[in-house]
Chain A
Amino acid sequence: KAGVTQTPRYLIKTRGQQVTLSCSPISGHRSVSWYQQTPGQGLQFLFEYFSETQRNKGNFPGRFSGRQFSNSRSEMNVSTLELGDSALYLCASSFRYGNTEAFFGQGTRLTVV
């Protein structure tokens, strides 16, 4: 059974650009969550999608958005990139909404220059 797949693995963008990251959950999993990991702020929750609906949202500006498709794949988008958006973005999938473990992908390393 394939794990959580995140693409791309590495990305370099320029300030002011926008970026889209993709996450394919484990087959059969319907919940996808996104996290930002930085040395200064640690691991912070961005948002969670279940059945194509955003169910939870962390404390991030509106430049961070996401969506989930009918096949449970999810994308997150960051517009008007800032240097501080440089981070490892982790996606986690869970079988259902609540009371289940989260399984993580290997992350996308975003560098904003």
Chain B
Amino acid sequence: AQTVTQSQPEMSVQEAETVTLSCTYDTSESDYYLFWYKQPPSRQMILVIRQEAYKQQNATENRFSVNFQKAAKSFSLKISDSQLGDAAMYFCAYKKGNAGNMLTFGGGTRLMVKP
């Protein structure tokens, strides 16, 4: 079974600084997808960024970028120029390719942003 591990229960960053959230996963599949979701206090999960395993290039979405290390099964999220609105729970998630939309989530990292 696939597992996703987020080893940092809480992280803190100063506004305008950069922070990196860690995620490791375990799978024997070669076709899969990785995601980072943000869950603010409103509780709605918001997709931040997506990475296809077959793509070597790291995904980037504005201030958010990932460092995808396939051999190491590592998928970290870097947030640049942190803003107060970035404060939330962040979840790393794995999805097997061609097997529906079932997501396996990590335990989450609570990000606090200090003004």
Contact = CB atoms under 8 A, between A and B. Distances in A.
Chain A bound to chain B: yes
A104 B45 contact: yes
Contacts of B50: 101
B44 A107 contact: yes
A98 interface: yes
Given A42-B107, A43-B91, A48 B45 contact: no
A105 to B, nearest CB: 7
Interface string B40-76: 0011111100100000000000000000000000000
Interface residues of B, number: 23
Interface residues of A, number: 28
Nearest to A105: B44
A33 B102 contact: yes
Contacts of A90: 45
Contacts of B35: 101
B109 to A, nearest CB: 12
Contact of B103 (A33, A50, A107, A109): A33
B22 interface: no
Interface of B: 33, 35, 37, 42-47, 50, 91, 97-108
